[in-house]
Amino acid sequence: MADRPARDPAVEDLHLVVDLALRRGADLLTAGERLVVARIRGLRGPAASLYARLTARVPSVFVEDRLEAPGVEDPAAAVTALIAAGLADRLVPWRHRIEVLTAAELRDLARDRGLPTSGRKSALIERLVPHPAPLGRRFVRVRHRGLLRRLEQWAFLRRRPDRSALVVERLGHVRWPEYTPTGGRILHARRADLRAWEALWAGRDTLRPEALLAALDARATWPPGGLDLRRSLRRRILTTARDLERAGDPAGARALYAGLVEGGHVAPARVAVRVARTLEAEDRAEEAWRHLRAVLPVASGRARLAILRSGRRLAARLRRGWAPDPPLRVPTERHLRLPAAPSRGARPRYRGGARQGVVEEAVIGLLEAEGRRALHAEGPLWTTLFALLFADAYFLPVPGMLPVRFLAGPLDAGTPSFAPRRPEAVAAVLDAVSAGEAPARVARADARWRDTWLAGAAWSRAGSEDLVAVAEGMGPQGLRAVLEVLLRRGWRASRGLPDLVVLPGAPARLPGALPSRVGDGLLLAEIKGPTDTVRDEQALWFDRLLRAGAPVELWHVTPTGEATR
């Protein structure tokens, strides 16, 4: 019996990506593109192995005598086969040739041409561009990279797809969830929509904001998952509007804000303060005040705090009344003094116990030295708990939410749309949390899902026992308060949750702290250095957590002495 050819995982990954993409969008390809895809799918042997690996790399041009791949004993023959299939060529411009040379090779070329050899690689390339000459080496260019990138986008539903995720899973480091795809929205209704999407994605940083706004207004549907560009375009338009404000063009900025609101792309409250500022810049304070008053009834959260603050300032200037909201609850404050450490970057560094680093790391070290453990929590710890508690709900057969394989969760995970599509499953989890079942559920879910690609889960933040301790220490009411906000507003609302979670343990006294005693229960601590202030989203979380009975403190850290090594 003849030996069966050895399997090449890289080729299998390439074929898998192509097959998944064709199931989603074969009808969007031209006849020529389908022919190219058929040639890629039909590659076998060393040519397939080489093509699979070269297309997974960033560059598209390679020095032929440096090519290597497992199972490819004769790279030149493999290149010849790829050229015959129309998947590679040797027509490489001079600049692209020298760009793939090493800095040492570029210096040798410059020396041979009597050019300066100093400077970075980029400077050497620019110096050599006007001096093309034979190099005595062959270069190869991989063709159809753009088509392959498009297929990868369709397979993974991501704008920046990466086949290496399949490699990581194959090596056993992580695994993808297993589920039955539910189908879903089409990628694009027609090829013209595909081309328009690709042009928009390619030009998102160069197109004028009016063009981006028109694109938001014009498209009735967007491709699913990570291919949806709306958030990216909104962020770009908002950034441009702020730039116009700084450049002294308040009317231009206001027109962009108005376009976003009128098109239903952002809520009026989100940009209300910015609109008021543009009116103020034109000496229209009265109009700015009226605008804030009109938007306030529909504002909530951080936007409401910002409107209240600006409204009070304008009211004082105009000698008008402005009814305040009830004050937010504020946490107990604690003051600590830590030795300064040598800086590495923009953020000051401190020493705490055996640790040295930014302020949060130093406080963790100080607690460790006194026998208490703390987790650097912020948002990821809480989205990890969310993922564990709602993991079963992730993979319910909700139409359109699991359209392809290799998703870490449904397309609406972490968005306000998640709960309304699964009301019974979400209610069951919240009822279980209220009944005190969260610690046991977290333990079971962690044992099942640990090291799986699971949307929201940051496994490196905490081990299973620590996550259970947090779920138990928060208590039913406190944990439910966090989950309800994340369900209602999405995971972006996790910004502002306290920096540290001090795990339960023996009572401790922190040297250099006032007050110094830390009790035995779980404690949430927001850490602030000398120049840090509490942001609006943090103030809102303090209020929510305190109202739910969660233990929250605000720790102020000041340095002692000069930084020493």
* Contact by Cβ (8 Å): 490, 366: no
For position 3, what pLDDT does the model report?
46
Contact criterion met (CB below 8 Å) for 502 and 523? yes
Which pLDDT score is estimated for 2? 45
CA distances from 172 to 126, 401, 452 (A): 44, 26, 10
The candidate with the shortest Cα–Cα distance to 138, out of 65, 71, 45, 36, is: 65
pLDDT at position 404 is 81
Query: What tokens were used for 57?
Result: 């790399």
Residue ranges of the chain with per-residue pLDDT less than 50: 1-4, 564-565
Cβ burial of 138 (10 Å; 0-12, 13-18, 19+) is: middle
C-alpha distances in Å from residue 485, one per residue of 117, 370, 518: 59, 34, 28
Q: What is the CA radius of gyration of the chain?
A: 29
Whole-Å CA distances, 242 to 5, 139, 278, 292, 313: 60, 46, 10, 18, 21
Residues 6 or more apart in contact with residue 317 via CB below 8 angstroms? 285
CA-based end-to-end distance of the chain: 69
Phi-psi region of 475 (alpha: psi -120 to 50; beta: other; left: phi over 0): left
Q: How many CA atoms lie within 13 A of 298 on its CB side?
A: 11
Domain with CATH 1.25.40 in the chain: 191-318
Eight-class DSSP state of 215: H
Answer yes or no: are the C-beta atoms of 53 and 69 closer than 8 Å.
Answer: yes
269-276 contact pairs (CB < 8 A, 24+): 269/295, 269/296, 269/298, 269/299, 269/300, 269/303, 269/304, 269/307, 270/303, 271/238, 272/299, 272/303, 272/306, 272/307, 273/303, 273/306, 273/307, 273/310, 274/241, 274/242, 274/245, 276/310, 276/314
- Residue 17: name the closest of 224, 123, 117, 156 by CA: 156
In this structure, are residues 273 and 307 in contact, taking their beta carbons and an 8 Å threshold?
Answer: yes
Do the Cβ atoms of 412 and 401 come closer than 8 Å? yes
Length of the chain as a residue count: 565
Domain 191-318 of CATH type 1.10.287: no
pTM: 0.84
With CA atoms as reference, report the closest residue to 442 among 451, 431, 432, 455.
432
CB 534 within 8 Å of CB 528? yes
Question: Are 552 and 545 a contacting pair, CB within 8 Å?
Answer: yes
Amino acid occupying residue 559? P
Q: Are 208 and 139 in contact (CB under 8 A)?
A: no
According to the model, what pLDDT value does residue 116 have? 93
- Looking at residue 334, its pLDDT comes to 96
Q: Residue 5's pLDDT is what? A: 53
